[in-house]
Structures are given as structure tokens and as C-alpha cells.
Structure 1
Amino acid sequence: MPASARAIQIRQFGGPEAMQLVELEVGEPGPGEVRIRHHAVGVNFIDIYQRTGLYANPLPLTLGMEGAGMVEAVGAGVDHLRVGDRVAYASQPPGSYCELRVMPARSVVVLPDGIDFETGAAMMLKGLTVQYLLRRTQPQGGLQPGDFVLWHAAAG
């Protein structure tokens, strides 16, 4: 049976005034998907790019790229997650500004007990960005002991 959930959605690109609180129907997860009830969601600069249309997505669009919560339902073929798991994610498709959503399970990881939902929702996109920059875009020869890394901004 479909559930309904509140979400922040845009129907046109624009400023913060374009965001609307709407009620959406949320169905059962299909193969390779999970349904997550959010306990916290991350807010990122990319959300502004999507809201303004700089990174255009089809409309209407539910904003948000990362969240953390509990798995409520698991679709066929998902073997790394179970109902009741504490989880977090940062990925496409957008849509984390909501209470409940269905999304691809491949983008969702189990949240360790020592990490609360708020931290889990806030760390994923930034953490994956750091991992990518340190592991995939290193100087020729990679980083060596004694090298310095300068973080000049905390904005993605």
C-alpha cells in the first residue's frame, strides 16, 4: 500500500521562494531499491545549483542529495541491506528533502552505530568528495609522508 510523505519540491527554477512543501505518494521499492524513512538530511551547495537551474533536472524536482534514516522496505535482489538497518547515502537521483523515499540500494550504506543520523546525513557527500580528491586525483606519484594538504574551502 502506498504511503504519503511530505517533501520539499520545486516546480520551476528560482530562488528559495520556488521551494514548496508538498505531499507525495511513496510506493514499494522495486528490484534493486530500498525505501528509507529519513531521520536527517544533508544540505549542500549543489542543492542551490539544482534549485536555480544551473544544474537542470526535470521538473517537478524534490531537492537534496544526501540523507540518513532507517530502511523500511527492501526490493528484490538487495542483499546488503535489511529492514531496520540504519543507513546513509549521497547520490543521484536528487530527492532527500523528504520524510520517506525509494531509491537505488547500490547508493546506500549501513551507518555504523557510533555515527548518529545527523552526522551520517551531513558527512556523505563531503566525505566522498574528500575520498575522491585524495585517492583519485593525486599529484604524479601520489601523496607521500610529510606532504601537506591545504583545505582552502569547506564548500564541496
Structure 2
Amino acid sequence: MHATLIPFPDAVAEYPKAISVEFEREGVSLWLRFIVDDNPDFIAWPDDAPPGRADQLWKHTCFEAFVGADDGYREFNLSPSGLWASYRFDDYRVGMREAGEVAVVAGLDGGSDYVALEGRIELPIGARRLGLSAVIETVDGAKTYWALAHPSDKPDFHHPDSFTLDLP
């Protein structure tokens, strides 16, 4: 499947020009490929790190998936550094804690006019809705916020109306 992310309307940075996501459910996991269409030299990429779980990845360039399930929702952060995070919420921004579901960041690939991050997340039981998003930090420190929808007056990837896709 394929989805296109849109920037939050007050974006001050000119880059990137477009972000799309390819995704496919594979049993209990979801394969994701975030594609940034533009010159990747304008983006501040986190330094490589040993794969593993880490917090506050969203403070820099990061790609995210939000999965609605029967018992709340999960937030997955996939950093180009190789680090990842997963959090469980009981309801809209309520009951945040580390989730048992894991993620794998397969790394970056690309060319002169695009870059892509591929990863895989473990889906929670009862996964049914999906929100996709990205935080892009440019080399000059500006940030843009991308999502399937922006239902609030500020970037808020947790907003229930941001979960716009049905999981196959």
C-alpha cells in the first residue's frame, strides 16, 4: 500500500518537497518504507548508533507509526540512526509507558534526489488503525512535521483523527 504525508500548514522550512510511505502487513508485523523526495543534503541526519531502543528520538529527524488497537494505541519511532522506540497509550496521550512490541530499523538508502528509511514494527493484538508521520530537521535547525492528516491547530500525531488508514 502507499500513502502520502502532508506538511503541517505553518512549515517554515522549504525542504523536503514530498514524503510518501509504502507499507505492507506481514502477519504480526508491518513493513514500512518512508521515502523523502528531495535533496537529502538539506536534512540533518542523526549519527549512526548501534541498533536498540532509545527515548526522545522525535526531537530530531524521525519517522513514526501510530497503531490503534483494542487496548489503546502504540507509538513507534524509527530513527535514521538505527535507534527505535515503542510506547503504549491507554487513550489519547494517557497512560504512556514502554510497549512490549519491538521495531527494527533496516537503514537508509537513496540517491541524489531522494532518501528512504525502511523498517518493520511488531503489531499489537487487535491492530486496526494506522497513522504515519515524520519529523524532518534541516541542517539549519528548522523542523517540519508531516502526517496523513493534521486535525489540530498544532502538530499532534497522537490525535485520534490522525489515524486515517485501516490496517489490511
Q: Which one has the bigger strand percentage?
A: 2
Q: Which one has the bigger helix percentage?
A: 1
> Which of the pair has more CA radius of gyration?
1
Give the TM-score taking structure 1 as reference length: 0.28
Give the TM-score taking structure 2 as reference length: 0.26
